[in-house]
Amino acid sequence: MRMVECGERADLPLKGEGRTYGKKVNVPRGEWSALRMTAQGKLFTVYFNDQRLYEVEDETFKDAGKVGLRTKADSVTHFDDLRVIAR
């Protein structure tokens, strides 16, 4: 998982796995998939098609702010039904 602050990207270490630049997962071609992230305090949990992939902890941004989406440079990705829910 990466975060961006002032235009600079930084890798966030995965809990229990260290700095791995995310997690390898097979993404089916030509099909819709569900990507979900939950945030509670400094803990972020990432899910792909309802399977938990990893967790990271980060306290860089402590105040309410914005959400951004980023994909790898050589990928073709479409996003639909983006929701941000505060609880």
Do 57 and 44 form a contact (C-beta atoms < 8 A)?
Answer: yes
Read off the pTM.
0.81
Residue 1 confidence (pLDDT): 67
Q: Count Cβ atoms below 10 Å from residue 13 Cβ, excluding itself.
A: 14
Residue 18 confidence (pLDDT): 81
**pLDDT tens digit at each of 87 positions of the chain:** 667 778 887 888 899 888 877 788 898 888 999 999 999 989 999 999 999 999 999 988 888 778 888 777 777 888 899 988 887
CA-wise closest residue to 11 among 56, 77, 68: 56
Residue 76 confidence (pLDDT): 83
Residue 3 confidence (pLDDT): 74
